[in-house]
Amino acid sequence: MSNTDNGSVAVPAGVQLPIYMDNHATSQLDPRVLEAMLPYFTSKFGNAASRNHSFGWEAEQGVETAREQIARLIGATAKEIIFTSGATESNNLAIKGIAEMYKERGNHIITQVTEHKAVLDTCKRLEKYGYRVTYLPVKADGLIDLDDLKRAMDDKTILVSIMFANNEIGVVQPVAEIGKLCHERNVIFHTDAVQAVGKIPVDVNAMNIDVLSLTAHKLYGPKGVGALYVRRRNPRVQISAQLDGGGHERGMRSGTLNVPGIVGLGAACEIAREEMESEAARLIRLREKLKAKLEGALDYVHVNGSMEHRLPGNLNMSFVYVEGESLLMGINEIAVSSGSACTSATLEPSYVLKALGLGDDVAHSSIRFGLGRFNNEAEVDYVADKLIDIVQKLRELSPLYEMVKEGIDISKIEWQAH
Ligand SMILES: *Cc1c(COP(=O)(O)O)cnc(C)c1O
């Protein structure tokens, strides 16, 4: 039996509403990760820093196993992993910690315009303290131009911070080439790899990455725990601590470790390492099906960002001549993100989409689909059918779409601000 929701698209068997398709925002905890964490909430409750009894040793053992699991996933060694509260903290620690440690060497930092706010706002703060920051533009496909990067580097450059994969449009930057350029010039390379770790291969040595941020909750682990990889040799990278205290984590990050969270992060990395290849293949297939269905049924839709250099589970599409808010309301049982960000009272178009050259209206009428481990094909079919239905209905009511169909050049019309 299939029922119908408030619209005219049937909800097939095997599909439960609401559907979660927003895996770049966060992901569902994998039950296997929860299983690994549970003992550390109850019987194994020790402080990993307690050196003189078995409660402490037991907790420390859990933490050290996690360190190894994380290191293995990114080609690092366990000693190079520092635990944090998440990627916001990892990015802050990396950028501020390097800026402070290497200030004698130079004061110039290079990043790019579509970074996460945890990187952009950290760089903005450093500008107030006298650092010089270059924000590289991106091309229409969302990728930086390596020649721009080369030109931006000078003898005062101490750090390049470029994300591995973008959280809105899913594009994967040329990380290995960036790392090579940095190492040739003796510049430290940090990458916010939150969206990449566990989804696509990451190898800190092959890619010349010196410092890397990751977080558990984007790879089916718990919220509030992350890590920073800090290279120990060729070259050895040093970071000034940003929290003062007991000197945990080799002096780089004080504070009693979140043992259950860390064990969960480790377990999530272990699962990702074993299943990444097959999971990526499955998500690409689902993503391509979603894309093909939407493009097959609708005109004036386009993908934002490079399709070639892209995360398996990401699709970001603009549905031109549809009003963004109405579109989201029409699919209110499907959890996705729009090309709008709520800042205080107003709805601002996404700065990432604007950086690709999209106008405000098109940015607002864009949707980010974030497919993940727990999505299935029936959901993809339903989401596609539902979206097609809503877009068609909204366009029937759209004078703009009608004009375009009649061949009127709407770019010549002046619009009133709304
Ligand atoms: C989610 C995200 C962050 C922030 O991570 P938290 O652990 O939630 O602080 C940073 N960078 C990117 C690219 C992200 O997607």
3-state percent breakdown (helix, strand, coil) of the chain, nearest 5: 40, 15, 40
Helix ranges (H only) for 229-258 are none
Distance of CA 108 to the CA centre of its chain: 25
Distance of CA 148 to the CA centre of its chain: 23
Name the closest-CA residue to atom 1, ligand 1: 25
How many whole angstroms from 27 Cα to the centroid of ligand 1? 12
How many whole angstroms from 88 Cα to the centroid of ligand 1? 6
For the question of residue 269 being annotated catalytic, the response is no
pLDDT tens figures, 87-105: 999 999 999 999 999 999 9
Position 2 confidence tier, pLDDT thresholds 50, 70, 90? very low
Residue 163 Cα: closest atom of ligand 1? 13
Report the SS3 class of residue 146.
helix
Least confident range of 20-24, 200-204, 259-263, 396-400:
396-400
Core vs surface per residue 365-382: b (16+ CB within 10 A) or e:
bbbbbbbbbebeeebbbb
Residue 343 main-chain phi, psi, to 5 deg: -115, 120
Position 8 confidence tier, pLDDT thresholds 50, 70, 90? confident
- 123, 182, 269, 342: the catalytic one is 342
SS3 per-residue string spanning 357-381: CCCHHHHHCEEEEECCCCCCHHHHH
pLDDT for res 143: 98
> pTM of the full predicted structure?
0.96
Share of the chain above pLDDT 90, in %: 89
pLDDT tens figures, 131-172: 999 999 999 999 999 999 999 999 999 999 999 999 999 999
pLDDT tens figures, 307-349: 999 999 999 999 999 988 899 999 999 999 988 876 666 789 9
- Residue in 233, 144, 150 with CA at minimum distance from that of residue 185: 150
pLDDT tens figures, 225-261: 999 999 999 999 999 999 999 999 999 999 999 999 9
pLDDT tens figures, 196-207: 999 999 999 999
- Residue in 62, 66, 61, 40 with CA at minimum distance from that of residue 273: 66
pLDDT for res 242: 97
DSSP state of 201: -
**Ligand 1: which of 120, 190, 195, 215 to mutate, judged by most atoms within 8 Å of the beta carbon?**
215
Share of the chain above pLDDT 70, in %: 96
Q: Look at the chain and count its residues.
A: 418
pLDDT for res 189: 98
Averaged pLDDT score across all residues of the chain: 95
Position 1 confidence tier, pLDDT thresholds 50, 70, 90? very low
Q: Residues enclosing ligand 1, CB less than 6 A? A: 86-88, 116, 118, 163, 167, 192, 194-195, 215, 218, 226
Report the SS3 class of residue 388.
helix
CA distances, 269 to each of 33, 174, 204, 221 (Å) = 10, 23, 15, 9
pLDDT for res 71: 98
The annotated binding site for [2Fe-2S] cluster is made up of 342
Instruction: Give me the domains of the chain, ranges plus CATH numbers.
Output: 19-28+276-408 (3.90.1150.10), 31-272 (3.40.640.10)
Cβ–Cβ under 8 Å, residues 82 and 70: no
pLDDT for res 343: 63
CA angle 314, 319, 322 (to 5 degrees): 145
How far apart (Å, rounded) are the C-alpha atoms in residues 64 and 41? 17
pLDDT tens figures, 44-62: 999 999 999 999 999 999 9
